[in-house]
Amino acid sequence: MRGLATLGPSSRGASQNRSERVTTGITSRYTAKEAAILVVDYRRGLLDVVTGDHLLGYAGAEPVLNGLLNDVAEGMRRRLPGPDVTSEQLRTRSWWSGPELFVVVDDYELIATGGRNPLAVLVEFLPQARDIGLHLIVARASGGAGRAMFEPMLQRIKELGSPGIVLSGDKDEGVLIADVKASSQPPGRGTLARRRQGSALVQVAWTAPVTPSE
């Protein structure tokens, strides 16, 4: 997976729940040696959602995010296949070792603002993300998403045919992912948009909020 975008209601609880479901799925499927998670969460709604050895870093503000992303970009650059990598190594992804890296971004509209986007340093790695173990999961409000899909990061994810989930929203935003438009839906219901496999109706489960540690 190169990326996954979820577009839905802008309420804090709705966005937080979508991202919580993603992180819970990662930590239940992979061990800490198999997957590392970088949480980008300017509203701090995901504090304590990822803990322990799975957590590579937590960015609740741009200065922290910039530092973490510089390290991530350096690590991903080292994983890019060089001229000495054989075809067998390419098939098996055996020229590098380490965990899959999941960058989970909540409230993307707060990060990509005013022509600035710290996450833009990852755009160059998206075409080879599957080969180098990079996964980008972005949750964004559906309001204004029609315009936002032309922002370089989201546009690149869309161009590469990555899947997305379109939840309740205004159909006037136009086509968002694949051929899917937003529409009025009950809480948690939406469309899994996939370019090649087609679209399907899905229901996103609700997760009880995490109580921050005292």
- Are the C-beta atoms of 40 and 122 separated by less than 8 Å? no
- Residue 16's pLDDT is 63
Q: What's the number of CA atoms in the CB half-sphere (13 Å) around residue 133?
A: 22
Query: Rounded CA gap, 123 and 54, in Å?
Result: 23
Query: Rounded CA gap, 208 and 197, in Å?
Result: 32
Residue labelled with tokens 């229901």? 203
With CA atoms as reference, report the closest residue to 51 among 214, 207, 213: 213
Beta bridge partners of 212: none
- Residue 19's pLDDT is 78
Query: Rounded CA gap, 7 and 107, in Å?
Result: 10
On the 0-12 / 13-18 / 19+ scale of CB atoms within 10 A, 23 is buried
Domains of the chain (ranges plus CATH)?
Answer: 3-203 (3.40.50.300)
- Are the C-beta atoms of 165 and 193 separated by less than 8 Å? yes
Beta bridge partners of 57: 38
Residue labelled with tokens 């910039």? 66
- Residue 194's pLDDT is 86
With CA atoms as reference, report the closest residue to 98 among 133, 71, 67: 133
- Residue 10's pLDDT is 63
Listed in sequence order, the residues at least 6 apart from 187 whose beta carbon sits closer than 8 Å to its beta carbon are 9, 14, 168, 206
How do residues 1-22 score in pLDDT, each as one tens digit?
567 888 887 655 556 667 787 8
- Are the C-beta atoms of 164 and 155 separated by less than 8 Å? no
Walk along the chain (214 residues) and give the pLDDT tens digit of each residue. 567 888 887 655 556 667 787 888 899 999 999 999 999 999 998 888 899 999 999 999 999 999 999 999 999 999 999 999 999 999 999 999 999 999 999 999 999 998 899 999 999 999 999 999 999 999 888 888 888 888 889 999 888 988 889 988 899 999 898 889 888 988 889 899 887 788 898 888 766 555 554 4
pTM of structure: 0.86
**DSSP code of residue 172:** G
Angle at 202 between CA 35 and CA 37, to 5 degrees: 15
